Amino acid sequence: MARKGWNSLSPAYRARIEKAGLTQADYEAGTSLSRARGHANTPERPSSYDPNKYQKYNAERTRLTNKIEQRKRELFGDRPRWDKEKSDRAIREKPPSLANMRWALDADDEDILDAIREDPETYHFLLYH
């Protein structure tokens, strides 16, 4: 897909690109904008990324995913509708941000239940069936 011309970008977006150290010539040459978009060290799409390219990110996501799975087992594992496979899949289907995963690990049980009820789209990863 061809990029927009430099002059058709909003001033704010041009400033963002320049702040990341890219010039108009870099933009027009097709240089990657991932750093300017805040993704120098993280993938833009957590649902599909190259683990070899983002090794540190992948290690942290794996660590947090394992802890979330454990937390969900502790919180919901004794419920009649508990389904480990579905619970684990919920984390991987729509990967949450690392910030949301960290929040869930620090939140108390009631805050987790409230979050699921109030915003099931964002907290889908905490569902267990």
- Does the reported pTM lie above 0.85? no
Q: What is the pLDDT of residues 23-54, one digit of tens each?
A: 899 888 888 887 777 777 788 777 788 889 88
DSSP summary character for residue 48: S
Q: Residue 91 — φ and ψ, nearest 5°?
A: -75, -35
Query: How does pLDDT run across 51-99, given as a tens digit for each residue?
Result: 898 899 999 999 999 999 999 999 999 999 999 999 998 898 888 999 9
- Please tell me the distance from the alpha carbon of residue 101 to that of residue 40, in angstroms, as a whole number: 20
CA atoms of 9 and 3, how far apart (whole Å): 10
Q: If we measure between CA atoms, which residue out of 115, 117, 82, 85 comes closest to residue 100?
A: 115
